[in-house]
Amino acid sequence: MTELETRPLGKSKVQVTSLGLGTVPLSGFNADVSYDEFEATILAGYAAGIRYFDCAPMYGFGKSEHYLGHALRANKLRENVVVSTKVGRVLKPASRTKKLETVYGIEWIDPLPFLDTYDYTYDGVMRAFEDSQQRLGLDYIDVLLVHDVGRAWHGDQSEFYWNQLRASGYKALDELRSSGAVSAIGLGVNETESVVGVAREFPIDCSLIAGRYTLLNHTPLEAAFDELLQRNVSVIAGGIFNSGILATGVSGPAATYDYGKVPAAVVEKVKAIESICLRYAVSLPAAAMQFVYAHPAVATLVMGAKSALEVEQNVKAINETIPAAFWDALTEASLLPSNAPLPTVVR
């Protein structure tokens, strides 16, 4: 087993390992994954030292929660791990529910026979939480995240859902945390702006932010991460490969950027990063992971994986030795801003 560093989530008592295992790839995202493959990947993560696992009702329309809960119970791992899931969506029978048109247009392979509906009200949060407990088969959930609230996902409808959360959703979150049903509260989003906005209105502990702080995206350094640090809101960093380009490089056969075609400017930037990686014998995934984890606001990296091999690759990457000169070279080439926190390396 690899010893992974642990950090707290905000002011909560929850401690997460530097690597978490996300279940999107295991829930039918671009691949048909059996329960046996799901369980084997979870067990590989646990054997590698990972003690944080993330799921959501949306992932496979209930499949990730069903599978994860069973794997943890069957292998008697529950008491040793942290589990996060999400509210904001209520699953309803597919035969009687209209399919949502979403910004990313995800088509799950072999999902459970449900579809998601949005509901950020008190009743919606409570129902989603209780449904998740049933699917997971867990009597408490460590971390509860409000899923996809904000303009990045809802566009012109975002204010409508914001008002639901403000009017009564916050009350549900407060009750769940105060009662001990959950230990930490936060957001699970693809933007940073909504996290700062909520943190100013309601005392969250953390937020899973996907794809907004990476080797390619540095906008949170302008102010957002500083404010989250001041408010003691921990960042759970997801999507740190920007959906693929920072894992495969520009020559990868299925390289994507934020689930779409890679823009020409991004291709050129990744080529420049890869050139410096080659010079210093550093793997691109290791650079991507260690850069994000170096920020003091970041408590953990949630990395999706659909096999034991991918888990092993992620663990190897976060432990790879990277010379200080590598980070200096990226900064000197203006590929990283001068104010970016960098990994501490023995020079």
Structure confidence at residue 347 as a pLDDT band (50, 70, 90): very low
CATH number of the domain where residue 242 is located: 3.20.20.100
Between CA 180 and CA 176 the distance in angstroms is 6
pLDDT tens column, 208-227? 999 999 999 999 999 999 99
Question: CB-side exposure of 24: number of CA atoms within 13 Å?
Answer: 13
Between CA 19 and CA 37 the distance in angstroms is 20
In a domain, residue 72? The reply is yes
Arithmetic mean of pLDDT over the chain:
95
**pLDDT > 80? residue 105:** no
| Listed residue (198, 199, 191, 187) closest to 232, CA to CA | 199
Q: What is the pLDDT of residue 1?
A: 55
In a domain, residue 200? The reply is yes
Write out the catalytic residue numbers: 54, 59, 86
In a domain, residue 66? The reply is yes
Q: What is the pLDDT of residue 298?
A: 98
93: containing domain = 14-332
In a domain, residue 1? The reply is no
How many structural domains is the chain composed of? 1
**pLDDT > 90? residue 127:** yes
In a domain, residue 169? The reply is yes
Structure confidence at residue 103 as a pLDDT band (50, 70, 90): confident
| Listed residue (202, 184, 199) closest to 230, CA to CA | 199
**pLDDT > 70? residue 2:** no
Q: What is the pLDDT of residue 106?
A: 85
In a domain, residue 38? The reply is yes
Q: What is the pLDDT of residue 79?
A: 97
Structure confidence at residue 247 as a pLDDT band (50, 70, 90): very high
pLDDT tens column, 253-299? 778 888 888 999 999 999 999 999 999 999 999 999 999 999 999 99
In a domain, residue 339? The reply is no
For the record, the structure tokens of 313 come out as 């690759």
In a domain, residue 135? The reply is yes
pLDDT tens column, 314-328? 999 999 999 999 999
pLDDT tens column, 172-213? 999 999 999 999 999 999 999 999 999 999 999 999 999 999
Mean pLDDT of 305-320: 96
**pLDDT > 80? residue 13:** yes
Helical pair 308-319 and 35-47, crossing angle rounded to 10 deg: 20
| Listed residue (161, 162, 87) closest to 125, CA to CA | 87
**3-state secondary structure at position 304:** strand
Structure confidence at residue 251 as a pLDDT band (50, 70, 90): confident
Q: What is the pLDDT of residue 101?
A: 84
